[in-house]
Structure 1
Amino acid sequence: MPDLNESKLLIIDDEQMNREILYRHLRNLGYPNITMAESGKKGLEIVANQPVDLILLDMMMPMLNGLEVLTYLKENPDWRVIPVIIISALDEKEMMLACIQKGAEDYLIKPYDRVLLRARVSACIEKKTLHDREVLNKQKLEAAYQELAAAYHELEVAKIELEALSHRDGLTGIANRRYFDTVLEKEWSAAYREKKCLSLILFDIDYFKKYNDTYGHLAGDDCLRQIATAAAQVIRRPRDTLARYGGEEFAVILPDTNSSGAEFCATKILTAIESLDISHTSSPIYPYVTASLGISTISPHLQAFTSQQLIKEADLALYEAKREGRNRARVWSAKA
């Protein structure tokens, strides 16, 4: 049940005696929060400036009569939910019907029965209280939904960021070995399905252990970062993947790329690394950092291999590049 002390009632009647009588009756019924207005205009001003739970409206008033005030109230989207009880000496059925059609909750004829007044007022207050509670619950539900949506969005962003971090090598910022394995299997399947070739480049830094021994591991880390950045500037196609394969070894997955295209890409990586001109005084071949690269190309739909064969052949080609003197790229050939 609504709290009578919190219910806000408004009496609109141009006759002072009628206002005061109704005021006393309502007070005796337990409604202490009552405002009075001597005209329809004044009543609308009060409604516009303070919350009202029930309006008790006289019909015969100058300037704005009760029906006109009722029309204003029910045409306003913010006010139409306020229940209105017409209290009038007019007992014409046409007038009663017109008020009900305009949205009045009830029509009491003066002199009204106090018991009936109490029942009608109580019913209207309860209806308004239920409406207000429903609005409040809806607002709370919408606010909770917005908070939930925001939290879900933040969770999705965090999930994406975390997933991205799980794919990245912590030192160089490029893809890590785990992500390399995932992408290789995906691209192998795509190449088989699309009947296209797939190329792989494996490369590592020449005499990197000597570099670390000479310059220290911090310098070694910086060297790896510089080489990753230089190689990344070469690998520009969206589906190409540059990854740190392990230690000083890197890998490049090149979808839909034949042997010539892969060799061209490897040569550009080789040139990019040389252009860094990173000093390596302990290298037996050059006074700067160099790399050796191995290349393999397979068409999965034509050859009964797995992706591991691509890695094996690129690794063998890398071994050939090192055996031939390092700082070069070699394409795997079964004839080699």
Structure 2
Amino acid sequence: MSERTTWPGPGTWHRPLLLVAAVSVPFVAISLAGLALDGRELVGAPIWGKPFKFAVSIVLYAVTWSWLVACLPQRRLVRWPAAVIAAALAIEYAIIVVQVIRGRQSHFNVATPLDGVLWGIMGTSITVLWLANIVVAVFLIRREIGGRPLTWAVRSGAVISLFGIGLAFLMTRPTEEQRAARREGGFAGIIGRHSVGVTDGGPIMPVTGWSTTGGDLRVAHFVGIHALQALPLLAVLLAASAGRVRLVRGERVRTRLVLVAAAGYAALTGLTLWQALRGQPLTRPDGLTLAVAGALAALVLAAAAAVLVAARPGRPAGPARPGRPVTR
């Protein structure tokens, strides 16, 4: 049975993770300045776009984990993996910034010995980050946090987030073209890719940098990782609405809505991965993708509506048992 925990105050949040978030915040502004003042491009995108996106993502991710770790018993088995998460995030971001300053690609780049060493360190830090997340998530799943709606939001968000992080390993695999180039002596120094069906560096979406001509594995990676923010936020918003909206006043109703949303979010992550693996850009879904997306949306809306209808006050009672009156 899950243990209930008290709500942690900000002073008890995990400090190494908060420090990583605090250090990353100025880089949001620095990256924006770089986007405005530095016209260089790398792999078809503004060179400071990646530091900006990673800084924002790391702030959200580190703050969320700092709070969640504070909800757990302060044991070494929790504190140390959380510190490892903080260190891995810091190492990955530091390498991204260093490579931007050098004008070099950070991900998948083994073109020179230094590039290869930096990419090796980054790849190792991503693996360690994922393993440390698993350790902390195991403790988190066994804990009750702030009531059942938030508890299930955190549990499902942690699991989906782990899946989202794990999708990074798909990107590190060499493509057939890269394998062939290595065999034929035309290797360009890149092992791995973000895009499917096209080469990295083609037309992209603004801000996100996702491909508009082929599949992009970063879409599902991004969606999955941030389940850890989206689902708890939904639980918090439902709780805030409980005083004004009678239908979501009950904890059981809010819990069921969170579980419906979690199932829908997991399906969305899977859908974006499936779309990318078929070499299809997010902005140009085919009829099959649209049909599956429509079916999933209809299922989620129907399930949410069923939860709300069941919670409606004064709904008709079920059939009475023989010989017993219906009570209201």
TM-score by length of 2: 0.27
Does 1 or 2 have the higher relative contact order (CA < 8 Å, sep 6+)? 2
Q: Which has the larger radius of gyration?
A: 1
- The structure with the greater share of residues assigned to strand is 1
- The structure with the greater share of residues assigned to helix is 2
TM-score by length of 1: 0.27
